[in-house]
Amino acid sequence: MIDPIPVPNGAPRLRDHPVARGIGNNQILHLADAVDHLVNEVHPAIHGHRQITLFRQAPVTLVLFVFDVGGELPDHVAQGIVSIQVLNGRLTIHIAGNDHPLDAGQILFLNPAVAHSVRAEIASTMLLTVHHIESITVAQTTAEP
């Protein structure tokens, strides 16, 4: 474990920074092992969920969430294209006054800057992927013809 790196609210990190868990030319992720690790962490879940960034390399971030019953992610936006994939359980995604129930095996896609919140109706796991727009824009504008 590396030394705790402060997070924006000043609390120490609960696990290694994604950079410290970087990949080489390739990496195989075992989602079941990552879920087990999150479930067995000794600290309490925050807002009824635990999460770990599995992969972060511009322009892509991949985050695994494990939700308790009633766990939530409050309303937020991402500056990129988002996919929310329910691995097991049932989640409700709230977007612009509408609820979108998702069951295991379903994926919801969101355009950049769409405000949304997530609530677990039952114990659930979710794989979140964000394709960051800033990185895509920079790559497109610096590419040679």
| Fold of the domain built from segment(s) 31-142 | Jelly Rolls (2.60.120)
Task: Answer for the pair 14, 43: CB distance below 8 angstroms, yes or no.
Answer: yes
Q: What's the rounded Cα separation, in Å, for the pair 71 and 49?
A: 5
**Quick one: tokens of 39?**
């479930």
Domain boundaries, the chain: 31-142
Q: Read off the pLDDT of residues 39-93 as tens digits, 9 standing for 90 and up.
A: 999 888 999 999 999 988 889 999 999 999 999 999 999 999 999 999 999 999 9
Q: Kind and range of the H or E element at 3? A: none
Per-residue pLDDT tens over the stretch 90-132: 999 999 999 999 999 999 999 999 999 999 999 999 999 999 9
